[in-house]
Amino acid sequence: MRSAILVKSKKPLVVTDISLPRTLEYGQVLVKVCYSGICGAQINEIDAVKGPDKFLPHLLGHEGSGIVEDIGKGVTTVKKGDHVVLHWRPSSGIQSSTASYNWQGKKVNAGWVTTFNEKAVISENRLTVIPKKFNLRVAALFGCAITSGFGAVNNDANVKIGQSVLIFGIGGMGLSIAYASSLVSAYPIIGVDIHKSKIQMGKEFGLTHSISGNSTNLEKEIQKILGKKSPEVVFETTGNSKLMEKAFEITPNDGKTIFVGVPNDKIKIYSLPLAFDKVLKASHGGASFPDKDIPRYIKLVENKMISFEKLITHEFRLEDINKALKLFRSGKAGRIIINLNKEK
């Protein structure tokens, strides 16, 4: 079974054959992974942002789609043949023990969900069943990109009709936030990014205004759009510590700052406004409930009220995953999909 393994921090992933566990434990599900997304969380794991990685070597990936091949004892929410979304946020079902694989006689660790492998042993509560007719390529985005971005808008920020929104970083997550903001009729929706191509793509998904990330006077650019007012809700998706500080700084005292990106360094903020009405929140997967939220999004897609296909800008095979990760780091892509289907 082909898999991409993180063997050493800050090094390319090793694409190789590994062996599945011999048996499924209580609450575990064997899934044939068809598509996987790439998230900034994987970059942080590769770069050991949180410190030395004590779980090496291990598998990666936390958003994907696939087909159930087998179930362990106790599993009731999925069955063989079901099409499923693989997600990192827990939902209904058992939280099982994590699986371990074998690579040349060495143990390979894994979390409750992994998606950079052709087959994966997944905890039952990291799976949500979807209709078999639904596009598995698009479904992979529901594992994180959509649920986290939409959840940041609906749950973390609770954006209201007509509220002004500013988004730092119009990558995959920023696009989802822009789209969700437009669906609740926020206005204006301002995107800040250094890449013109991403700003242009953002306008297809709800951005009404844009500011170059290279601007030397962000506040002045915002005033051109909002007059003397400040954006009521500010999302920071890049994880750049300086931008996180700036996001909080430009948020008015009765506004909300939502940190979606994971900081790349310590940040400093003036905390006194938090004692009054200013809100600062770090989003954790948009506080989403996958088994509740995913069926709602699918209903909207099936009724042609929303579409996510154009969020995907690039597709790679598993063998080329390091090229995909390099592109992701460049900041020049929307959502990147890894195709693990051997038939295609």
Contact 84, 78 (CB under 8 A): yes
Long-range contacts of 317-324 (CB under 8 A, 24+ apart): 318/2, 318/3, 318/4, 318/15, 318/116, 318/118, 319/2, 319/15, 321/4, 321/13, 321/15, 321/116, 322/12, 322/13, 322/15, 324/38
The pLDDT value recorded for residue 264 is 74
Residue 300 lies in a domain: no
Residue with tokens 């064997």: 30
Please tell me whether residues 253 and 317 are part of one structural domain.
no
Please report, for the domain that includes residue 219, its CATH number.
3.40.50.720
Range of the domain at 266: 146-286
For residue range 251-266, what is the model confidence (pLDDT) as tens digits?
999 999 999 988 878 8
Query: Do 134 and 55 have their domain in common?
Result: yes
Tell me, yes or no, whether 59 lies in a domain.
Answer: yes
Is 135 inside a domain boundary?
yes
Average pLDDT, stretch 130-149?
Answer: 97
Name the band, by pLDDT with cuts 50, 70 and 90, for residue 331. confident
Asked whether residue 344 is assigned to any structural domain, the reply reads no
Answer yes or no: is pLDDT of 342 > 80. Answer: no
Q: Indicate the average pLDDT of the chain.
A: 95
Q: Omega into 21 within 30° of 0, i.e. cis? A: no
Does some domain include residue 294? Answer: no
Does position 282 have pLDDT exceeding 80, yes or no?
Answer: yes
Interacting residues of 323 by C-beta distance below 8 A, sequence separation 6+: 316
Same domain for 93 and 221? no
The whole-number average pLDDT for the span 304-309 is: 96
**Domains identified in the chain, total number:** 2
Structural domain includes residue 138: yes
The reported pLDDT for the residue numbered 25 is 98
**Taking the C-alpha atoms of 109, 61, 287 and 173 in order, what is their torsion angle to the nearest 10 degrees?**
150
Instruction: Give percent above pLDDT 70 in the chain.
Output: 99
Residue range 282-310: mean pLDDT, rounded:
96
Q: What is the CATH number of the domain that holds 313?
A: 3.90.180.10
Residue 28 is predicted with a pLDDT of 98
In a domain, 246, yes or no: yes
Residue 42 has pLDDT above 70, yes or no: yes
Which pLDDT value is given to residue 45? 94
pLDDT at residue 344, as a whole number: 44
CA atoms of 160 and 157, how far apart (whole Å): 9
pLDDT tens digit string along 180-201?
Answer: 999 999 999 999 999 999 999 9
pLDDT > 60? residue 343: no
